[in-house]
Structure 1
Amino acid sequence: MTHVLVVGGGNAGFCAAHAAAARGRRVVLLEKGSPAEAGGNSFYTAGAFRIAHEGLPDVLEFVDPDERHPTTDLPPYPASSFAEDLARVTGGRNDPELSRVLTTGSGPAIRWLHSLGLRFRLMYERQAYRGSDGRHTFWGGLAVGSTGGGQGLMEQHTRAALDAGIEIRYGVRATGLVTADGRVTGVRTSSGSVVEAESVVLAAGGFEADPAWRREHLGPGWERALVRGTPLNTGDMLRAALDIGAARGGDWSTCHSVAWDAGAAPTGDRELTNRLTRQSYPLGIVVNLDGRRFLDEGADFRNYTYARYGAEILAQPRGIAFQVFDAAIRPLLRTEEYDSPGATVVTAPTVTALAEGMGVDARTLHRTIAAFNAAIDESIPFDPTVKDGRASRTDPPKSNWALPIRTAPFSAFPVTCGITFTFGGLRADTHGRVLDTAGSPMPGLFVCGEMLGGLFSGNYPGGSGLTAGAVFGRRAGELA
């Protein structure tokens, strides 16, 4: 008989499977997708893991060698700073006990994965700027990523699982939970079969790929959002758990959503994956179809704003906005995103021509840019590695990194809302044991990954999702 049945083949599910197999348990992992569809949202990520650490020497113990290491500045990021960032960006709506386990367990979780053969690296191209002195400075509390991004992460997880004797069954859609004598004893599949197990770990993602559920829980208009990851996360196992009395956890009314190429497909692209995001917006301005700015592009480091700005874009006319840059700013943009194959962009020699290509009123766009430029305090040096206070005191303000839009040619990248994952899930204790509506653990049922509610609300610190999957997947697998 199967000892531990894991439902969902993303990062969290594999972490649960690894931990259970290390205890000598017979583990079966059910993946809804075929091998060509597998990996959940984890496959589509850049592979960033936010972890607490003591600085560069600490991190060098488990990241791949790189010739840039000797010229790298990576300040310590203690668990207390991680906790402060998590509480700040969620407005204090994060569960304190789950958050404590996440932040203190982040570093050990990465070292554990490394011990299983998974590889990590410093994410220079995403999280560091190279100064005039030749040194690379990391910013925003995020530095470590999986080697090969999300695709590499899932390849390495799969290899480690097969080496450990974990059985992976592809193309199996779990639709219900089976109980006996008050205990979860297996899952029911779409084919009508039942897979029995002593314990079930749910790691099947949220409901972001279900337009009806998005509209019901996130609000009108969310059915129009593009899904930046897997089309398979339709909330099947959330429904199944709620049907047998599991309690809801976390914030079901908000989600992780980003600025996403407006020309992208309705669901994720397995070749381009994360390269369809547009995350250099703190360097330029963002305008809507009326030609007006509507948010503070420099409110904080991109790591702390990008997961909520998708919702801001969705609220604009037709759910569309444009990131606008001039020729002086253009070389600073992330190459893997803004120069990726098929990137949608309007380029023009004048603001008037740019507005025409955007479908925006030229006079309004001229006024927006002129007001923005005139309000910049250009006496303050530009420094992308810190919140430099170089502001444009206009309405809305841009609090940091305000660079004028004045040098031709000009570029406008159309973006819309790309939903990543939903923040609402199941309520659980710090070991991943699912709780019922009375607050008691449900025997035989565990949860991890995006199905675990309570960590995030309204926003989240970049890189926290994969880390949470690793920390709580490991804890569930150690107990299941």
Structure 2
Amino acid sequence: MPEVNTDVLVIGGGMAGLTAAARALHLGKSVIVAEKAATVGGSAQFAGYAWTTPAHAIMDEVNPRGDIELRRALVNGFGPGIAWIRSLGVECADAVTVLRYGSGHQFDTNSYIDECRRRIRAQGELLTETDTRALLTEDGSVVGARIRLPDGTQREIRSAATILATGGFQANPELVEKYIHPAASAMQLRSNPNSVGDGLRLANAVGAATSSARSGFYGHLIPTGVQFRDPSDFVALSLYYSEHALLFNLDNRRFTDETVGDHLTTMELLDQPESRGLLVADERVYRDWITGSYVEGADALDKFELAQRRGGRCGIAESLDDFAYLPTEWGYNGVEIAAQIRASNAAGPAVRPPRTYDARPLDHGPYYVIEVCPALTFPFYGIRIDRHGRVLAASGGTINGLFAAGADIGGLYDRAYAGGIAAALVFGLAAADRAAADRTGAPT
């Protein structure tokens, strides 16, 4: 079997993998990237912001169960990560608020992907449509991987450092049912279709530690019955405004604090009967949030109108009395939901479940009603790493020569979320920096 040698082998060509590869080249290392798909970019092609919390105290508040070392590393590494993007000639806008607790920068992710790809092709080697069959090991260390090229031939790549960055396992029904929720495979995928758990498979085979199952996933609420036509729908159909609305399950009851964020409500809805619910907004929410920009600088879009046009279960009630005419085939009791809305309005800040960040009443018709379900972007379960991106061993310590970054890692988030692109950027850079330092014997 043909054998080649390189300083750094990166398995996966999304945000984390391209970042690690470009950084390693910048540090003077030889690099090979092996990407399963025909093109690089992964799910980063569909993003537009890099963001996370601006301070440790905020990260601790919104993500208290996440690994503390990784939480610290993410916050500390974000500023240098943005500086890295800019150093490649990619413009990043000034910081804006994201959600109620984050800070981030809009940037052209595709320009960043293109620049990383250009550098890799010019200075290293980029293999596409290439499967990684197994990691190579010697005396407990990972020393490369065996890959299969598009023509079916196999090659062994020997490397001082191997970085797993295959993007998670959200496109693998068996794994999402096992590690997210038994109903998770029914969710639509707002992600690339190639992330099927290759990184997790490779890491497990060499004894890597993994994070806690049922730690959740990142996703958003979307209209039921409306299929994604293309990746632009991943954002267009996501109902971010749900944190200002009311959400009811098939028992006609609220079941969570919607105001903590649509991404958290999405996880909670997955566990409700049939994983669907009725999202209700009034005239104020429609005016201020449904038709407005979710993040400063983003395009405004009437998401209710789009859902209605695409055939979602949608309706407009001029008053709460009109909820009595909710279609019975939807499975909800409109009269009971109207009564719950009136009770919520009357309770104000004392409402239960609480509405911590927006307890204002929904008392001005018309009311905008959409039936919603969760959609999946990537899981929080994955390979355990330290702050340098080194893969931890299930038996203790680290696995020499093996690193991971991006959606392949676990432990950073646990039923919480503070940025995916930022995490891919920060830990992609960290893995490359440590791999380069290990190769040269430089201190870290």
Report the TM-score when normalising by structure 1.
0.78
1:21-420 → structure 2 map (5 Å cutoff): 21-35=25-39, 38-50=40-52, 52=54, 82-91=55-64, 93-122=65-94, 127=97, 140-147=100-107, 152-163=108-119, 165=122, 166-189=124-147, 191=152, 193-198=154-159, 199-249=161-211, 253-265=215-227, 269-298=230-259, 300=260, 302=261, 306-333=262-289, 334=292, 335-336=300-301, 338=303, 341-342=306-307, 344=312, 346-350=314-318, 351-352=322-323, 355-356=326-327, 359-376=331-348, 391=349, 393-420=350-377
Q: Secondary structure at the match of 2:422?
A: helix
The alignment of Structure 1 onto Structure 2 pairs a total of residues equal to 409
| 8 Å CA contact retained: 1:260, 1:278 | yes
| 8 Å CA contact retained: 1:212, 1:223 | yes
| 8 Å CA contact retained: 1:40, 1:230 | yes
Rounded to whole Å, the distance in 2 between the matches of 1:108 and 1:401 is 34
AA at the equivalent of 2:141 = R
| 8 Å CA contact retained: 1:313, 1:416 | yes
- Which stretch shifts more, 225-234 or 164-173? 164-173
| 8 Å CA contact retained: 1:433, 1:442 | yes
Q: Secondary structure at the match of 1:12?
A: helix
Rounded to whole Å, the distance in 2 between the matches of 1:159 and 1:456 is 29
Which stretches in structure 2 are left out of the alignment for 5+ residues? 293-299, 436-444
**CA 236–348 in structure 1, closer or farther in 2 if over 3 Å, else same:** same
Rounded to whole Å, the distance in 2 between the matches of 1:8 and 1:434 is 16
Rounded to whole Å, the distance in 1 between the matches of 2:27 and 2:362 is 59
Q: Per-residue CA shift, 1:386-425, capped at 9, x if unaligned?
A: xxxxx3x333232332343343332112221112222222
Runs of 4+, deviation exceeding 4 Å? 250-253, 339-343
Cα distance, 1:202 vs. partner?
A: 0.5
**CA 107–218 in structure 1, closer or farther in 2 if over 3 Å, else same:** same
| 8 Å CA contact retained: 2:324, 2:335 | no
CA RMSD, Structure 1 to Structure 2 (Å): 2.6
Cα distance, 1:181 vs. partner?
A: 4.5
Choose the corresponding residue for 1:456, options 390, 394, 413: 413
Q: Per-residue CA shift, 1:339-358, capped at 9, x if unaligned?
A: 67556351324433662285
AA at the equivalent of 1:167 = E
**CA 139–180 in structure 1, closer or farther in 2 if over 3 Å, else same:** closer
**CA 289–2 in structure 1, closer or farther in 2 if over 3 Å, else same:** same
Q: Give 2:442's aligned residue.
A: none
Cα distance, 1:117 vs. partner?
A: 1.7
Q: Secondary structure at the match of 1:160?
A: helix
Rounded to whole Å, the distance in 1 between the matches of 2:164 and 2:53 is 24
AA at the equivalent of 2:252 = G
Q: Give 1:55's aligned residue.
A: none
Report the TM-score when normalising by structure 2.
0.83
Rounded to whole Å, the distance in 2 between the matches of 1:197 and 1:339 is 53
| 8 Å CA contact retained: 2:36, 2:129 | yes
| 8 Å CA contact retained: 1:311, 1:417 | yes
| 8 Å CA contact retained: 1:83, 1:103 | yes
Q: Secondary structure at the match of 1:477?
A: helix
Q: Per-residue CA shift, 1:194-213, capped at 9, x if unaligned?
A: 34031211011222221211
